[in-house]
Structure 1
Amino acid sequence: MSYFMNNTMGESIDEPNEARIREVLTELQEADNEHFDVSLVHESGWSLSVYPDKALIWENVNDDATRPRELTLGSWQGVIDVLLKLSRGDISAVHSLNWRES
């Protein structure tokens, strides 16, 4: 399975491992009004955007008919766990979380 992650500057990192995902997430500590999120995109089109308050946006960037959904997690480890599920292509596990339409 193929995936990539965009850092706060919009630079793409191909198939980052868990350590690299953690590094990208630490960039959110320095987020500003222009560079305020990171994202992980799976080859299926499913994407998770992450914000400094641990809010996630779950959407399929290849399907305009699928509405984005939101979820705020209580810990950075929870965010990492969800990102790792998506990186492994475990779409059903991510989709089964308690998302609300945005």
Structure 2
Amino acid sequence: MTDLSGASVEEPDEATMRTILDGLAGADDEHPDVSLTHENGWSLSAFPSGELLWLLWENLDEPDAQPRQIPAVAKDEVLRLFGLLAKGETAEIDRLTAP
């Protein structure tokens, strides 16, 4: 998982994910997001949007795959989705971002 400053945390637990998400309060134009990337190439990035977050879902290993967005997501839901991705369970995130 990558925090706002670009520091990486290998295999973060839920408390670490929550702390990194809380760091989005300090987001700016240069450091706008935090992300979690699984070894399978799938990445979920969270950006602040008022009281909610919006997410970018993309496969970094597949340059032809179109990134997809999930707007207006509560922090607890983001944590749940990060947890799924950490386990490599991408089907539900795919379903949420399906066109």
TM value normalised by structure 2: 0.91
Residue 10 (1) aligns with residue 6 (2): yes
Residue 82 (1) aligns with residue 81 (2): yes
- Counterpart in the other structure of 2:21: 25
Q: Distance in 1 between matches of 2:32 and 2:54?
A: 11
Runs of 4 or more, structure 1, over 6 Å off, are none
- Counterpart in the other structure of 2:94: 95
CA contact (8 A) 2:54 2:73 kept: no
Q: Distance in 2 between matches of 1:63 and 1:88?
A: 20
Please tell me the root mean square deviation across aligned C-alpha atoms, in Å.
1.1
Name the count of aligned residue pairs.
Answer: 96
TM value normalised by structure 1: 0.89
How much identity, in percent, do the aligned residues show? 38
Deviations 1:48-67 (A, max 9, x none): 01001211000000001110
Gap runs ≥5 in structure 1: none
CA contact (8 A) 1:70 1:99 kept: no
Q: CA deviation at 1:93?
A: 1.6
Q: CA deviation at 1:98?
A: 3.7
Deviations 1:19-67 (A, max 9, x none): 0000000110011111110000000000001001211000000001110
Gap runs ≥5 in structure 2: none
Q: Which amino acid aligns with 1:65?
A: D
- Counterpart in the other structure of 1:63: 62
Q: Which amino acid aligns with 1:67?
A: Q
